[in-house]
Structure 1
Amino acid sequence: MYSPHHIRRIWILTFEFSGIAKVGGLGEVIPLIARELTKKGYDVVIVMPSHGITPHGFKELDLECQGSRYGVDGVEYPYDLGFLEGVVEGVKVVLVKGKSYRTSMVLDVWPPYSYVSEKACLLARAVHCLAKRFGYPDIIHANDWHSAVAAALLKIDAELRGYALPVLYQIHLRGSPSYPWHYASEHWCGLPDTMQRIWATTKHIFMHTKDLWDSCWGNIECFIVKLADTIATVSKSELELLVRDYGEWIRGKTCYSYNSTSWSIKEVEENALKLYNTKRRGEIRWRLVNELLQKFTTWGYLNLTDNEVLVISSGRLTPQKGFDVLLHAAKLLPPSIKVIVLGRRVGDESYEHYLRNLLNEVWGKTIIIVDDVEQTLYQLLIYSSHVYSLSSRYEPFGISGIEALALGTPIVVSNIGGLGEYVSDLRVNPLGVGIKVQQDNVTELAMAIQSLGYLVYYSETGKGIDKIVFRELRDLALREHKFGEKLRDITVAYVDMIFRPEHTANSTLACYELARQMAFYRANA
């Protein structure tokens, strides 16, 4: 068996890609990595379900991909897959769609995670067809469990043909469902029950596919963590959680790669000049808020007669993001602090109902905008705000925090996961970029938002120093009147130093090399 000597051809499997389908941070980081690798001369192909999207300029590939699957009921279920190929911002993208009604009703459905287990299964069948027609790449980069079965099928099929195809499995958000072996098997998703070489601390051991699947009780994440050559996470803390859950034996085949952003404060300032003839945040802030209130659907009410400090938060309206904690904290904030949440609805109606009830308790101080706000206005809102808040209960990385820092807005975050890792607290480090608070601690969150908000507000207006609750931040303001403006410059410099696309691309390439080495060991096991 042989393995690649170097990495050039890369297939990235994903369910999200900004410009086609995006729900969360995954949809931003994958294009960013792909564009940067393409610039470096790598042959990158994105493969993902169409989710019913047919982008302008995409053309159908001349490729037949038909077959049958057999359910536990013994009934035959034919599938007929089609492929659309195009280029998005310089990156080649292949979309998998259904050609028959039955297949289309699974693959060509919005939102992206509708029928997710079946989309994942048909994606596996699709990449198998692509590999038979165009050959195997030098590496498979699968992202989250939805792409895991597809990556596993390519790895197993290539190995049966004498090729140790490197597989990097990257976890952006932990967790996956569990299914009986029939789901993964040749009868349904296509995995043959053959002998697998599984890394075990210092050597590879041998297990049949079914035995490996059953050893994980059918959990897809567990299965791919054991099967893949290398496991990547988006933060060091997430990697440590992975080792805790699966054991020290996986440490030798793990790596982490921080997410990054291409957001540019210069571009946002140029947009501010075009729209408002100024880039001064204080002159933009409340004009922009007024426009948003008139243009978009909102929950709650904002009284703008006594506004001073603006706080922004954004993300999916799910308990994970902790918006209920933020709304409880808003009860403790003075009326002069206004909170705007840019919320993406994902169908969690009970949580949305809970948030709407909480909004009644912060009437006049807090709103949730539930429409998609175009990126130019979204960036301007964050740029012009005093504080960006991330009160998440679980956050492997938290790309929205990095985006806010890139625009010069300091952040208040829960001290968890990637957030606790990349945020240095101003209370202990004058070169910090925000404040870390205990998860679900409403009082500390309110104090942090008020203190950081008025630290920045004081540097703008010379007012509000008496409202800075934390003594450490008040001392910073007393020593340096314009410290809030200096803080904005620090946040931008911090992102430029660590969290730009070239940094993510380089760390991803290091993970690719580790996967290639592990595949070499596998080939010689």
Structure 2
Amino acid sequence: MKVLIVSWEYPPVVVGGLGRHVHHLATELVKAGHEVVVLSRRPTGTDASTHPTITHISDGVLVVAVAEDPAHFVFGEDMLAWTLAMGHAMVRAGVGLARPGIGEGWRPDVVHAHDWLVAHPAIALAEYYDVPLVSTLHATEAGRHSGWLSGVINRQVHSVEWWLANESDSIITCSASMEEEVTALYGPNLSPVTVIRNGIDVATWSFRERAPRSGPPRLLFVGRLEYEKGVQDAIAALPRIRRSHPGTTLAVAGEGTQYEWLREQARTHRVLRSVNFLGSLDHAELLGWLHGADAIVLPSRYEPFGIIALEAAAAGTPLVASTAGGLGEAVVDGVTGLSFQPGDVDGLTSAVREALDDPQATQQRALAARERLTEDFDWHQVALDTAQVYLSAKRRVRHPLARPDIPQRPLPGR
């Protein structure tokens, strides 16, 4: 098939796990014999004079990275305007694929959108080429805010997500919990929803068994510094963990809007000197920290999937994770890691203590987690399953859409 993937992230422009997901999916689809074009963007803060639209082939994928145009908007200040401008630039580039001399008349068989930020170009291009629209919904605005959409931008983002879901001819989610969430938020007239878990390229994450600990325990968190990631709960648990395991430190890798607040939380709990904020890490740096940690702590309060859990398992890092969303499916409590309820600081503390107190059992769980990756999270299988969704998707007759429902209360179970 000829596949047009639309994503606001694609290497080297990677904000979070979405960019890595799309890259692995695209390259695996190419290996399976499909023609893949990825429509993405140039780095934030650039403009068309310094970073014009470029087209290049990477790992067999034709990547069209569009320039910011116009370049006046700032994502953090003008989110919806910035997104609309990006979408307009993507539509122009996507339409150009069909013009002789530009895309040599290339036309897709399917358009695959990844998340709400590309709703406008994906919907427009699927209509322009008259092909099915498949959308992968990696997260929801309501989920990120426990169902409360109190702000204007929150409601706007939810509305765009609802529009994309209801315009899609087939929907993919990364976990069963996300399937339930999407159906509850955007139903009842959705196209079929298919659960396809994220994959992991085990070969890029060298496995290392834990050596006997020679110093104070080292805990690691990796992810965006946002409230829903629960870093504040790990910080709150740290003083308790240090009482039973003196000298324990917590390294926090990632960036986000809650950095200053999290530093204040560490100060409030009197562990600021024991919390090391690392910022963003490249692959080699991340692998080094994973190999050096006694456990990775993933205390998410909301998590559609949690790709870092797979990456940590591939590196051999023991897993201590909440049961939020996809993490509850990625980590099998007592078998491939230890789990606790989201927001439960006592449960987090107990799980970390158990991991530190019994290194042998912890190592066995790490080995089981690594073995499970090749069975349940293989990118080749992810690509095959995704291609099957492409083949079965049929372009529906479009009907006018009413206004979306805006959740005014927490989601079930929140």
TM-score range, shorter chain: 0.7 to 0.9
User: Is the contact between residue 141 and residue 158 of structure 2 (CA under 8 Å) also seen in structure 1?
Assistant: no
Match of 1:336 among 204, 226, 246: 246
Name the CA distance, whole Å, in 2 between partners of 1:416 and 1:490: 21
Q: How many residues align?
A: 374
Q: Is the 8 A contact 2:196 2:385 kept in 1?
A: yes
Following the alignment from structure 2 to structure 1, what is the Cα–Cα distance between the partners of residues 381 and 78? 29
SS in 2 for 1:282: coil
**Shift, 1:400, TM fit:** 0.4
- Does the CA contact (< 8 Å) of 1:51 and 1:111 recur in 2? no
Using the size of structure 1 for normalisation, the TM-score is: 0.65
Q: Separation in 2 of the partners of 1:258 and 1:506?
A: 12
Aligned partner of 1:140 among 111, 130, 136 = 111
| Cα distance change on mapping 1:497 and 1:312 into 2, 3 Å | same
1:268 aligns with 2:176: no
Give me the whole-angstrom Cα distance separating, in 1, the residues matched to 2:78 and 2:381. 29
2:41 aligned partner: 49
User: For residues 321 and 169 of structure 1, what CA distance do their matches in structure 2 show?
Assistant: 24
The residue that corresponds to 1:170 in the other structure is: 136
In 2: Cα distance, 1:407 partner to 1:509 partner:
29
In the superposition, relative to structure 1, how do residues 404 and 46 fare at CA in structure 2: closer, same or farther (>3 Å)?
Answer: same
Match of 1:514 among 384, 387, 392: 392
Aligned letter for 2:22? I
Compared with structure 1, are the counterparts of its residues 110 and 375 closer, same or farther at alpha carbon in structure 2 (3 Å cutoff)? farther
Asked if structure 2 preserves the Cα contact closer than 8 Å seen for 1:128 and 1:153, the reply is no
Q: Is the 8 A contact 2:202 2:373 kept in 1?
A: no
Q: Hey, what does 1:353 align to over in structure 2? A: 260
**Given the superposition, is the C-alpha separation of residues 82 and 173 from structure 1 closer, same or farther in structure 2, using an over 3 Å criterion?**
same
Distance 2:349 2:321 in 1: 11
Structure 1 residues 52, 417: CA separation in 2 closer, same or farther (over 3 Å shift)?
closer
- Higher gyration radius (CA): 1
Structure 2-normalised TM-score?
0.81
Q: Which residue of 2 aligns with 1:21?
A: 13
> Match of 2:94, as an amino acid?
V
Is 1:122 the equivalent of 2:121?
no
1:121 Cα deviation from its structure 2 partner = 3.4
Instruction: Report deviation, 1:327.
Output: 0.2
**Does structure 2 retain, via aligned residues, the 8 Å contact 1:433–1:487?**
yes
1:176-205, CA deviations, whole angstroms, 9 ceiling, x for partnerless residues?
A: 9xxxxxxxxxxxxxxxxxxxxxxxxxxxxx
Given residue 216 of structure 2, which amino acid in structure 1 is its aligned partner? E
CA-CA distance at 1:365 after TM superposition: 6.7
Question: SS of the residue aligned with 2:53?
Answer: strand
Deviation at 1:378, TM superposition (A): 1.2
Match in the other structure for 1:372: 280
Q: Which residue of 2 aligns with 1:73?
A: none
Cα distance in 1 for residues equivalent to 2:255 and 2:324: 24
Gaps of 5+ in 1: 1-7, 55-59, 61-80, 160-164, 177-215, 270-278, 287-306, 427-431, 460-482
What is the aligned partner in structure 2 of residue 498 from structure 1? 376
Query: Do 2:230 and 2:301's aligned partners in 1 also have CA atoms closer than 8 Å?
Result: yes
Q: How far apart, in 2, do the equivalents of 1:53 and 1:492 lie?
A: 39
Whole-angstrom CA distance in 2 between matches of 1:439 and 1:399: 17
Q: 1:35 to 1:111 in 2, by over 3 A?
A: farther
Give the one of 194, 202, 211 matched to 1:255.
194
Measure how far apart 1:383 and its partner are.
2.5
Over aligned residues, Cα RMSD in angstroms?
3.1
List gaps (5 residues or longer) in structure 2.
Answer: 143-155, 399-414
Per-residue Cα deviation, 1:374-400 (whole angstroms, up to 9, x for no partner):
322311221332211111111100000
